């Protein structure tokens, strides 16, 4: 049924995620089609696809974000389905509709579900109505500073200020008083204007009560034909710089079994509330001291950190996405075991975390039992400044967290990247940090680490 329904799949993405999707597509006997910019012509994903199409210059707006060019490439190559990966057009409901209207299979949730969950305020209100815990916050977009100040007075400081749309921690900051709120609001407003197209005089900004000692824990769900939603365990994503994830692990070392069960059940309710189909992630904030949680947002796509779930469950989430999109209802049993950790290997300064692109002169990946590397580059490739600086994801799996940590130390030490700056030294530093190694950490960990070395 899979080959009859899908046949050939165009991957509307680049780098490590395009390469990872191509691997599963080809394993299932399907034809893999890549699209690429001029800047990415020499990357491995282009070579490894059965067919590759140049769709424009390096600027994403003229290549990976150009819906017309992506659809034209799909038509020209006879693609019958499109997988968006993550980022770029992955959570663009208009693109999903265009794919479906063109007679192709969209490998993702229904456009209506993307719309519902893409606006954080709308999603928050929907979840509250479904009985999912949410933080005290605004129920309507905050479009000017005076409204933000009134909202903060009602919520109580500190407050988290962020854009109502978009993700990845862009434009997010914490305000502890009115002066701090003015700065935070202006930052979020600029981000909303840049990434969401909102007007500067009326951006959609959201305020929520800030949890002082929080863990960022998310639940992987899979929506199946017929309405069934399955929770596939959680991932702890609390190691962050500038509100952006760097290291993820599963299971979370910071939640109790009772809290885990409540979070998994709530994530299923989230999926059911929007009729979710395919792979998605329900993100939550956990109060580390109170052992309670609130809904944060939902990502209606495959996550960067999906490999840790694959390692503890033995499932291939891309294969499940393909089968669900083809109308199949695969038998899925979520029985996680062992412990997995993912380290994002970025081309960035390991101290200040600023991007450090450049040509890779040496690249040697670790290997062996319990080690997985999803990479987008090899020696001789250039990490350009046009895209996210993620080069690879180094994942380790052990029978328990102690074994996974030891494997992580060994694998990080064995991973050689020369040329561009990279954050492997940070990963090594983290693996010797007492907060991280004991599992008793929160989203402020990286900031504390850097404050000590300043």
**pLDDT for 61-99, tens place per residue?**
999 999 999 999 999 999 999 999 999 999 999 999 999
Q: Is the pLDDT of residue 165 over 80?
A: no
* Phi-psi sector, 358: left (phi>0), alpha (psi -120 to 50), beta: left
Q: Which of 14, 19, 301, 323 is catalytic?
A: 301
367 HSE (CA, 13 A, CB side)? 4
E runs forming strands in 111-188: 159-163, 173-175
As a whole number of angstroms, the distance between CA 19 and CA 442 comes to 32
> Given the structure tokens 């209802």, which residue do they identify?
329
Q: How confident is the model at residue 204 (pLDDT cuts 50, 70, 90)?
A: confident
Q: Mean pLDDT across the chain, nearest whole number?
A: 94
Helix (H) or strand (E) run with residue 204 in it: none
Q: Phi and psi for 23 in degrees, rounded to 5?
A: -60, -45
As a whole number of angstroms, the distance between CA 410 and CA 62 comes to 41
As a whole number of angstroms, the distance between CA 280 and CA 182 comes to 34
Is the distance from CB of 143 to CB of 188 less than 8 angstroms? Answer: no
As a whole number of angstroms, the distance between CA 252 and CA 215 comes to 9
As a whole number of angstroms, the distance between CA 158 and CA 36 comes to 44
Quick check: pTM over 0.85? Answer: yes
Q: How confident is the model at residue 167 (pLDDT cuts 50, 70, 90)?
A: low
Six-digit token string for 171: 């434009």
DSSP state of 306: H
As a whole number of angstroms, the distance between CA 50 and CA 198 comes to 40
For residues 227-231, average pLDDT: 96
Question: Which fold does the domain 2-107 belong to in CATH?
Answer: Rossmann fold (3.40.50)
For residue 416, give Cα distances in angstroms to 42, 308, 361: 20, 22, 10
> What are the tens digits of pLDDT across the range 252-300?
999 999 999 999 999 999 999 999 999 999 999 999 999 999 999 999 9
Q: Are strands 173-175 and 159-163 parallel, antiparallel or unpaired?
A: antiparallel
Closest CA to 152 of 204, 209, 201, 190: 209
Q: Where do the structural domains in the chain lie, given as residue ranges?
A: 2-107, 136-209, 214-453
Query: Known catalytic residue: 301?
Result: yes
Is the distance from CB of 318 to CB of 310 less than 8 angstroms? Answer: no
Is the distance from CB of 380 to CB of 418 less than 8 angstroms? Answer: no
Dihedral Cα 219, 292, 273, 137, nearest 10 deg: -120
- Measured in whole angstroms, the distance separating CA 152 from the mean position of its chain's CA atoms is 29
Q: How confident is the model at residue 200 (pLDDT cuts 50, 70, 90)?
A: very low
**pLDDT number for residue 382:** 98
Burial of 272-309, coded b for 16+ CB within 10 Å and e otherwise, reads ebbebbbbbbbbbbbbbeeeebbbbbbbbbbbbbbbbb
> What are the tens digits of pLDDT across the range 173-196?
999 999 999 999 999 988 877 655
As a whole number of angstroms, the distance between CA 278 and CA 223 comes to 5
- For a pLDDT cut of 90, what percent of the chain falls above it? 87
DSSP state of 136: S
For residue 306, give Cα distances in angstroms to 213, 273, 275, 302: 25, 23, 21, 7
Helix (H) or strand (E) run with residue 100 in it: helix 93-101
For residue 271, give Cα distances in angstroms to 189, 217, 241, 276, 355: 30, 17, 29, 5, 36
Six-digit token string for 149: 């100040």
For domain 136-209, is the CATH number 3.40.1800.10? no
Burial class of residue 335 (count of CB atoms within 10 Å of its CB; 0-12, 13-18, 19+):
exposed
Is the distance from CB of 433 to CB of 445 less than 8 angstroms? Answer: yes
For residues 228-248, average pLDDT: 96
For residue 160, give Cα distances in angstroms to 95, 164, 183, 247, 363: 30, 12, 12, 22, 40
As a whole number of angstroms, the distance between CA 445 and CA 431 comes to 12
Query: ω into residue 401 within 30 of 0, thus cis?
Result: no
Is the distance from CB of 77 to CB of 10 less than 8 angstroms? Answer: yes
DSSP state of 343: E
For residues 38-44, average pLDDT: 98
**pLDDT number for residue 194:** 67
As a whole number of angstroms, the distance between CA 442 and CA 147 comes to 31
Is the distance from CB of 22 to CB of 36 less than 8 angstroms? Answer: no
DSSP state of 363: E
> What are the tens digits of pLDDT across the range 395-414?
999 999 999 999 999 999 99
For domain 214-453, is the CATH number 3.30.470.20? yes
> How many CB atoms within 10 Å of residue 77?
18
Q: How confident is the model at residue 50 (pLDDT cuts 50, 70, 90)?
A: very high
**pLDDT number for residue 166:** 65
């Amino acid at each position: 049924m899979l080959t009859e329904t899908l046949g050939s799949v165009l991957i509307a993405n680049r780098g490590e995620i395009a390469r990872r999707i191509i691997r599963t597509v080809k394993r299932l006997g399907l034809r893999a089609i890549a699209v690429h910019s001029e800047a990415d012509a020499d990357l491995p994903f282009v070579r490894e696809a059965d067919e590759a199409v140049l769709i424009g210059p390096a600027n994403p707006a003229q290549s990976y974000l150009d819906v017309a060019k992506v659809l034209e490439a799909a038509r020209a190559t006879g693609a019958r389905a499109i997988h968006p990966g993550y980022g770029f057009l992955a959570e663009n409901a208009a693109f999903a509709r265009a794919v479906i209207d063109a007679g192709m299979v969209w490998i993702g949730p229904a456009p209506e579900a993307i719309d519902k969950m893409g606006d954080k305020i709308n999603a928050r209100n929907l979840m509250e109505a479904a009985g999912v815990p949410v933080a005290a916050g605004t129920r309507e977009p905050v479009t000017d500073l005076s409204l933000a100040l009134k909202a903060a007075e009602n919520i109580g400081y500190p407050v988290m200020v962020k854009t109502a749309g978009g993700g990845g921690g862009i434009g997010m900051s914490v305000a502890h008083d009115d002066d701090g709120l003015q700065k935070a609001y202006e930052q979020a407003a600029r981000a909303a204007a840049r990434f969401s197209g909102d007007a500067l005089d009326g951006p959609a900004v959201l305020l929520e009560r800030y949890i002082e000692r929080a863990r960022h824990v998310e639940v992987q769900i899979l929506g199946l034909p017929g309405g069934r939603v399955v929770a596939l365990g959680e991932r702890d994503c609390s190691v962050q710089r500038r509100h952006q994830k760097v290291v993820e692990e599963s299971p979370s070392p910071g939640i109790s079994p009772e809290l885990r069960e409540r979070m998994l059940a709530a994530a299923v309710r989230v999926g059911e509330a929007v009729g979710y189909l395919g792979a998605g992630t329900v993100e939550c904030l956990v109060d580390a001291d109170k052992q309670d949680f609130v809904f944060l947002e939902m990502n209606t796509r495959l996550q960067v950190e999906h490999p840790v779930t694959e390692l503890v469950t033995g499932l291939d989430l891309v294969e499940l996405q393909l089968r669900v999109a083809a109308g199949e209802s695969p038998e899925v049993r979520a029985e996680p075991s062992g412990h997995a950790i993912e380290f994002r290997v970025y081309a960035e300064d390991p101290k200040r975390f600023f991007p450090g692109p450049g040509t890779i002169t040496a690249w040697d990946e670790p290997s062996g039992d319990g080690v997985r590397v999803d990479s987008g580059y090899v020696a001789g490739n250039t990490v350009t400044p046009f895209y996210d600086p993620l080069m690879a994801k180094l994942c380790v799996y052990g029978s328990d967290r102690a074994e996974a940590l030891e494997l992580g130390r060994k694998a990080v030490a064995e991973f050689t990247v020369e040329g561009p700056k990279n954050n492997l030294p940070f990963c090594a530093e983290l693996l010797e940090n007492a907060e991280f190694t004991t599992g008793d950490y929160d989203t402020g960990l990286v900031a504390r680490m850097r404050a000590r070395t300043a």
